[in-house]
Amino acid sequence: DPTNWNAMLIIDKGRKSGIKIGMPVVNPAGVVGKVSEVADNISKVILVSDPNFNVAAVTQDSRESGLLTGTLQGLCRLRYLPEDAGVKVGEKIVTSKLSSTFPDGILIGTVVNVSNRADTTGTECLVRPAPFPCRAEEILVL
């Protein structure tokens, strides 16, 4: 998107290929995004780094659940973690079985910062997405 307000891909498969809105999109490195619009022969994929993207996620080691959303900086934010969450920088974040669109256990990214925010309750993490979504050459729509 030339405005840099959205992070999307356009793929060359659509309704005629069985693509539907909300389908998860991955590559070998992990979560890329999910289908947001579908036409007969093309679809738009909202990327994991887009502020409108969200998914239920869990920390791989400490098993804390939260909601992961994109940011305008190309990172993701994992929010709504307990204040005493034992999340550490470098910990992997994966999709949760609480997700309504993604199967559980797919890699989303790695924690790069952990903070306890004064203006909210709980712990918040910045996450670097595993695949660099705007450079994805091959993807799989689940």
Each residue's pLDDT expressed in tens, for the chain with a length of 142 residues: 545 566 788 899 999 999 999 999 998 889 999 999 999 999 999 999 899 999 999 999 889 899 999 987 889 999 988 887 788 999 999 999 888 888 999 999 999 998 876 566 678 899 999 876 555 578 889 8
CA distances from 116 to 60, 73, 75, 90 (A): 19, 20, 18, 17
pLDDT of residue 72: 78
Say if residues 123 and 1 touch (Cβ distance below 8 Å). Answer: no
pLDDT at 59: 92
Q: Enter the pTM of the model.
A: 0.84
Assess contact for 41 and 12: CB atoms under 8 A: yes
Question: Are the C-beta atoms of 47 and 33 separated by less than 8 Å?
Answer: yes
Strand partners, 55: 68
Q: How is the beta sheet containing 43-47 ordered, strand by strand? A: 8-11, 43-47, 30-38, 24-27, 140-141
Say what the pLDDT of residue 8 is: 84
